[in-house]
Chain A
């Protein structure tokens, strides 16, 4: 170990002691720093993790245990078969989030075989389906970080991408509000950061009067603000699905309900990807496993970092609120200071016209803890004060997502130093959605390099088709176009979801698309059936029936989100008796 490393270990020990974290052990583990021992509670464990960061190690591995808390394992799919056994792919992407799907789409420009393995019953079931959908302007991340770099590039790429892949992108811009005049002192820093990071658009400061002019309902106590016009919004799961569908159109394959359980290695190389559906052969593995990326790294014998889950809760307001706010607004996200690891939070707009509050930030032991609880929810509601016309009775839904944070709080995007055919794309927390297209470009290059050096001849695919068409929202068509469509196929004229005006035809399309929906939630994410104010109260029975008859399965086979989440548990006595009598 270098003297410098020794010195840094000592410093970390000292700091831990000062914070009374006496039962924590510190050691070097390869190029990383590893914490072990125990802590009194989860907060202390978290504090120790952050103390170990920023000391020049490649990564922080936090193995501290907390009495009475066992970190839950990942949830597993129910299926078990041999469907994939023996199949071989040049690139195996583990994780069907926005990052994995963006990489798949980028790689599908090449003449290689690609597969996405996703353990959930649909794409974007973890962080990529549970976030704010914001394409950050690239202001919040500290200059020089990977976050800042990829965010700026990714933000720019979204304009073209939204046209190619047929998903909606809006750029309402965001305003950082100043609660007191004191914040104006930060303006030079804000501007310097915009310049350093390369934030696009004509960002500028706004006087209190200007704030009220551009955003009339903002709380009158605001003393001014800073506007970042390049801030955008998308539907994050629609982006993820669009990326994957375009990859599929260009030859990639997607397997859902497929979990990578182990990696077989020989001579510093992964030779087999062990799943619940058999063992695959691979040229290369891309670790885009979100909150579980450190576990995947461990399977390959290369765990040089660890992930901790940070839950964020969001609330969605009714679409009828759309006229009440034009920009994304928030409080200053305090310039990356160590202990403010959440983005300040605020009021975000959604492409569908809803307004979104959030997110909160809370460290959680369960990386799949998507529950909501009153305390953080009530904190979230406090953000409503930013807009005088909004109130909590307008909320139609809320949910939580879990960020995959490393202790260094920056993205990890690099080929493994230990395993020649593994690339880590880990710790992709916010602004991961905004950054995904740019991350994918670089990862694709890394992948091509790795495959080439392993002797694979990688060439651009001559027939790559960058265009993907989504399912058109029939209600947004012109009356003529809608009528023409209905005359051709009356299913588009039968409304099953009344709040969002979704037709039977669109629900069928969701079941027949390139990466088809197989669950109630999958249908909802693709065509919004059940996403409105009545929360599926009216359409759920209708959608289930439509799905069962379209898919040729039993109504009782339809699940909310895969696994054990069947909506109905069986037939009624009368129904059973009727059947028996026939």
Chain B
């Protein structure tokens, strides 16, 4: 790896150096193009830097690693290659030109500067939903944190956000932080989830809550925050089937902090001026099987594309995007056509959303069901012609699925392509 700050043009520029961006940079470099990896923080690693628990890398490295260990492995791969890393470098604007991009950055060393890129990989990760986005009401004291903030404070900075904590939302980071807070000597009163099923992985429910006797309250939410200066308590309330609080069940819980784990949103605001097509479900760009967005030459991966449960999948999507971004530069050839993939059944979303022709080979497809189902069949068809079928069990919206599909079986002149997730009634 070189640190070279005077270059103004790269074949591939990757924005964000979390696991997705590092993987993209590595695979682009392995395709033999010039690569720049830009990161607004000082160091590579993205969110993994603060995920000090283990369980990362089971698929990718066949080992149980901590977040920083996983990131470190990728960092070594980046450093071994001819990739220019720019830290403390913040992307401020993107201009799409005829055949390439002009991107504006700001950093402490160079001030405002521009770089030209043949293609771009967007790997900015995601941000957490705030209390405001779930319309949390009551007073506005100190002591309300997102789970990621709490994770940053405890794991990276060594400070406690609270001693008596209520967790709102059952996202994975909230579950992991319930355990972390407990290990640090705080009391976690419970995890309160408005939905009827937890939104985090079963693995985390078991390892982070059950193993530590932390209660999980489903169909329950926080209706009011108390305390003018510092959190003094919250009111929790059960909700009915329309998620409306049942006021008779209101209960005051004295606590000094409220930790929110209520969802992640792919970070794509920077794309707004370019009119990139955004999938209204994933909140990431709609992409084709090459992870190319509606803006030719711009690729997306990792949590910026759609929020993944496993970092291994994030890295995989980074590898695809990096490789395809390099291929774009090496062989500038317009697509011969594009087809939108339809969704049917209990499919919440599937990535890719589109197919671009020509297609070759197997591609990974990621999807989530819109509701829980014990058994279901994933059907990939063009018109009535079934190309691939797979039976699946124990589907939950909180767990993402991955299938490898051979998209080359799709005929460009054929009828619409559909991904269907069909729930099955099983007779035992």
Contact = CB atoms under 8 A, between A and B. Distances in A.
B114 to A, nearest CB: 9
A520 B141 CA distance: 12
A537 B149 contact: yes
Nearest to B138: A371
Nearest to A400: B140
B132 A479 contact: no
A501 interface: yes
Contact of B127 (A486, A493, A538, A569): A538
Contacts of A396: 130, 132-133
Interface in A455-513: 475, 479, 482-487, 490-495, 498-499, 501
B158 to A, nearest CB: 3
Contacts of A540: 149
Q: Chain A, interface size: which category? A: 35 or more
Interface string A567-578: 111111111001
Contact of B256 (A368, A491, A569): A569
Interface string A362-386: 0000001011111001000000000
A564 B130 contact: no
Contact of B158 (A487, A563, A565, A571): A571
Contacts of B162: 569
A371 B130 contact: no
Given A373-B138, A398-B132, A482 B153 contact: no
A559 interface: yes
B137 A571 contact: no
A500 to B, nearest CB: 11
B160 A541 contact: no
B142 A561 contact: yes
A165 to B, nearest CB: 28
A568 B142 CA distance: 9
A320 interface: yes
A487 B132 contact: no
Contacts of B185: 573
A486 B106 contact: yes
Contacts, number: 145
Judged by DSSP, the binding face of B is mixed
A535 interface: yes
Judged by DSSP, the binding face of A is mixed
A368 B269 contact: no
B369 interface: no
Interface in B78-113: 88, 90, 92, 104, 106-113
Given A487-B111, A541-B156, A573-B184, A370 B139 contact: yes
Contact of A537 (B130, B228, B272): B130
Interface in B109-150: 109-113, 127-128, 130-133, 135, 137-143, 146, 148-149
Nearest to B257: A569
A562 B230 CA distance: 10
A555 B109 CA distance: 28
B106 A559 contact: no
Contact of A490 (B108, B112, B156): B108
Interface in A516-544: 520, 533-535, 537-538, 540-541
A555 B110 CA distance: 30
B159 interface: yes
A16 to B, nearest CB: 34
A156 B40 CA distance: 44
Contacts of A145: none
Contact of A535 (B40, B130, B256): B130
Contacts of A534: 127-128, 130
A498 B159 contact: no
A72 to B, nearest CB: 10
Contacts of B228: 75, 368, 370
B3 to A, nearest CB: 16
B157 interface: yes
Contacts of B92: 475, 501
25 contacts: A370-B139, A371-B137, A372-B137, A373-B137, A396-B133, A479-B104, A483-B110, A483-B112, A493-B106, A494-B88, A494-B108, A498-B40, A499-B269, A501-B90, A534-B127, A535-B132, A537-B127, A537-B146, A561-B229, A569-B162, A570-B160, A571-B158, A572-B159, A575-B159, A578-B158
Given A492-B108, A533-B269, A541-B149, 14 more contacts: A320-B269, A370-B139, A397-B132, A486-B110, A501-B90, A534-B127, A537-B127, A541-B157, A556-B159, A559-B142, A567-B143, A569-B160, A570-B159, A570-B160
